[in-house]
Structure 1
Amino acid sequence: MNLKRYKLTSLLAAPLFLGGALHGQLYWDTNGSTAGAGTIADGTWDAAATANWTTDSAGAAATVDYTTGAITDVVFSAGADMTSAVVVISGTQALSSITIEEGDVAFSGSAFSNASSGNILFTVGDSASATFSQDLGAVNGDFNVLGSGNLSINAIRGGSYMTKSGDGTLTVNRLDGYLIVDAGKVIYTGSVGAKLKNTTVNADGTLELTGSAFDGVNRNLTLNGSFIMAAGLSQGVNYLNGAGSISGGAGASLTVQNGTFSGTITDISLIANSGAHTLADGSSMEFTIGADTVSNSISGSGTINLNGLFTFDLSGADLTEGNSWLVVDVDTLTETFGATFSIADFTESSGVWTYDFNSQLVFSEATGYLTVVPEPSTFALLAGCLGLTFVMLRRRR
């Protein structure tokens, strides 16, 4: 009875052992059987010509070529001595995952193909960096960039779902696919192409655009983290939903069509075209007021429901009498100022909002303008002058 139990246990354990072997790791190693990989570990990654790989994590075993290694989970590098590497990929290489544990690794040359059914997993360790200057091809990736690590990808074009995790930064010039930013930052430059599809930014994530990113105005942005736009950049989405934060440099604008947003918007203009968009109760939008007529605004030809909070940054405002700023373009929009709409530090009466600290500054829901009106004393003086003129004319008669 005990013998039978022993044999059954052995049979069950055997596949587990084999599975572990098949899912081992292949380590980059450019110094042969000497421990480590080499401080400067430059080399060529090809299929079967160059022996720059080892199955020994310490790097003390003899090296083999990539095909002989027969493992598609690769690590840079063996040991812990590598500080930098320039790696030229010769011919398309199939892999399941690639990990950069330490150092600065610069890749160039050919693309990747996927050795498994899922996404290729890119992992970059804390303080490490990896740069892929080539087009990685029609593959999908997940990107786990840890701590202060950095991963830079020129182009990846799989077209499906890709996820960014870890606190580090992913910079990409072109990503064809649906992006989920779970944590850390993604910087999309758009220098190679604007190909983002529907995008989700979760609470611990940041998406920063320094160039065009979305492949048209019919993509959706679900935002519960941070969304940052470079100065002067214009982008468009269909649905904008969530409770995150949107900010931008001077002249940045975001066009939206539908959805409900309950987060914060700072220093960008919002353009509502077609559809119906709602800035919900709990949302806030800040307008930076500058010289006469200079501010961000809400405009467009669509419908917008304003149920949240407006704030005016007056630190750089020119509050000369007569100056005005178009905040909401009521002539082209179909707008509604809801029951929960309010303006910070302003008091409302019949749709006219007066600044609590300067009664000359008023916002009108009817016109959409923030205006510096003449002081009441000026009105009184003008009225007095008109009255005196009338009396003098009467006396002359």
Structure 2
Amino acid sequence: MLALSLGATLLAGPAAQAAVTPEGDVSPGTGDSYWSTGGSSSQAVAIGQSSPGSLMMNGGSTLASGQVTIGTDGAAGGEVELSDAGTSWAIANDAYIGFFGGALVEVMNGASVSTGSTALGYYAGSTGKIVVKGAGSQWSATSVVVGSSGNAQFNVTDSGKVTTSGNLDVQGGSGVGILNLGVSGNTTLVDVGGTFTNNGTVNVFALGNITGGIYLPVTATSFAGGGTLNFWGGSVAEGVGAFAVSDYTEYTTPLVGQNLSGARVNAGDGELIVVFADNAGTGNLEINEVASPLPSGYSYYEVVQIEMSGLTNSEIILSFELGAGVDEDNIYAWKLVGENWQEIDLEDTLGTYEQEYFNMMVDGGGVYALGVVPEPSTYAALIGACVLAFVCLRRRLRS
């Protein structure tokens, strides 16, 4: 059985000061008074035009805009981050997240965005991604299209919420749309005032130590479409939009010839939870600790090896108990290749820290490590990073 222990508690830094910070290629330009005076509902805004641009809002800052375009040109990209309770962006007209280029918008820790219609991945060749996470974090729109003609992803986790007065469409034709929903509590993540149409892909994940039972992550006036619907850690339940989360299977010895479809395997008394897809099939699972150090400069818990065989779908979610106060931005990961640690590219994956658990997508077995970068000038103490088996994990896109 796994025996994983927690290190010191990571303390939060000082509260952020209210700020609206544009950088790079933005319109209005970075020196325009628009950004420092609360904006205007008649002012069109572009982030990332012919070259990259970004916007950061935090500490309860507010901004008003007209139409917003992020990732305007195919050669450019735009990134926006809103964080902290009270931080809000009121967009009076439509919002294009990935117009011809690429765009990432993150709304976290109680921040909010309100728009007219929202389109992710608007033109062919564009990419658009929105992440809404944390209690009180919200994206409100008259309508949402995920993957208009480009590629798009909308992630909603950790009690974040998306609401529309009209329809929400996940596309799967000329555009490729993916909606990822992380269920870690009994809250509705997507509330659609009109029709919820899935012609793309909707993935629903049971995260952390959520109790087995029936959950309702999506509500809508009506449902339509024939797209793909995938569940990890459970299955579709009776009732439209309902998700039946599985109870735990306790791990004490290797599991052999077991049906793992939709299973949640509890190893180390809840310290590591392995979550399987609803089409995982029958196979074998073994979890072992491995004595191996991380690269210098990082703290860690342990190295863990996951071995799986015989499964139809070996993509799994690993939920690891870290406790409270971990800063997700300081987490890095490696894979053991031969005798060397190889750092994993953490961009654009499904990792999320919520409800004291860190959750990440895994594709197959192997030996993996998760480490935390020390920041002595910011924190009074450092948490020992956990080390566990996984292949990929999302890290914020930061310059």
Q: Same fold (TM over 0.5)?
A: no
TM-score (norm. length: structure 2): 0.38
Report which of the two has the higher share of strand.
2
TM-score (norm. length: structure 1): 0.38
Higher relative contact order (CA 8 A, sep 6+): 2
